[in-house]
Structure 1
Amino acid sequence: METQNSNLKYLKAKNKVEKLKRFYTHAAVYLVINSVITAVKVMNNINNGETFEEAFYDFSTLATWIVWGIALAIHAFSVYGLPLILGDDWEERKIEKLMNDELKNDK
C-alpha cells in the first residue's frame, strides 16, 4: 500500500512537471515568434514611410501579441489557476468518483 501511494504521488508530481514544462515552452515560443513577427512588421512599415512609433503601435503589429497572449493566459490559468480553484486533489477525487460510478454500474 505504501509503495502504491508513493507511486501515485510520483506520477502526480511528474504530471505537474510536464504541465509546467509545456507552459514554459509555450511562453518561450510566444516570446520568440512574436518578437520576430513584430520586428519584420515594424521594419516593413518603416520602409513604407511610417515612423517607428506608428509602425510599432499599429494594430496589425500588436494583434498577434494580443490574440496569442489570450491563449497563453488561458494556458497559464489551466496550469496555475485551476488547482487554486478546484484544489490540488481535484483530479484524484474525480477519478475516484468515476471509478466508483463504474463499479456501481457494473453491479
Structure 2
Amino acid sequence: MAIIMEQFNNDYEKYQKAHKQVQEIKGFYTHLFTYIIVMIGLIFINLRYSPQYLWFLWSMAGWGIGLIFHGMKAFNYTPFLGKNWEEQKIKEYMDEEKNKRSKYE
C-alpha cells in the first residue's frame, strides 16, 4: 500500500511540475502577443505623428529585454546558471539543514 501511495505522490508531483511549465509557456505566449499588438500601435503612432524621431525603438528594446527573459524562464533556458541550477541549490540547502539537525540529535 505504501508503494502505491509513493507512486501516486511521485506522479502527482510530476503532473504539478508539468502543469506549472505549461502555464509558464502559456503566459509567455500571451506576453508575446500583447507585445506585438502594442508595438504595432506604437509604431503607427510614432510614424504618423513624429516620423523624424523613432522613439518607439526605446519601448521596443526595453520591453523586448523583459520578453526575452520571460521566454528564457518559460522554456527553462538558463545559460548563466546552468540546467537544473535551482533544483540543485534547493537540494544543497535541504541537505545542509538536515546535517545541522542531525548534529544536535
Do these two structures clear the TM 0.5 threshold for a shared fold by scoring above it? yes
Query: Could you tell me which residue of structure 1 aligns to residue 9 of structure 2?
Result: 4
In structure 2, relative to structure 1, the CA distance for the partners of 1:9 and 1:90 (3 Å cut) is: farther
The amino acid of 2:41's aligned partner reads: V
In structure 2, relative to structure 1, the CA distance for the partners of 1:92 and 1:61 (3 Å cut) is: closer
Equivalent residues of 1:27, 1:72 under 8 A apart: yes
Runs of 4+ in 1 over 6 A off after TM superposition: none
Is 1:18 equivalent to 2:13 in the alignment?
Answer: no
Query: Could you tell me which residue of structure 1 aligns to residue 38 of structure 2?
Result: 33
Structure 2: runs of 5+ lacking an equivalent: 1-5
Report the Cα distance in structure 2 between the residues aligned to 1:101 and 1:27, rounded to whole angstroms. 40
Structure richer in helix, relative to its length: 1
Task: Output the TM-score relative to the length of structure 2.
Answer: 0.73
Name whichever of 90-99 and 70-79 sits farther off: 90-99
The amino acid of 1:77's aligned partner reads: M
Report the Cα distance in structure 1 between the residues aligned to 2:8 and 2:88, rounded to whole angstroms. 20
Report the Cα distance in structure 2 between the residues aligned to 1:92 and 1:11, rounded to whole angstroms. 15
Aligned CA RMSD, in angstroms, stands at: 2.3
What is the count of residue pairs matched by the alignment? 95
Report the Cα distance in structure 2 between the residues aligned to 1:86 and 1:106, rounded to whole angstroms. 30
Equivalent residues of 1:42, 1:61 under 8 A apart: no
Is 1:86 equivalent to 2:82 in the alignment?
Answer: yes
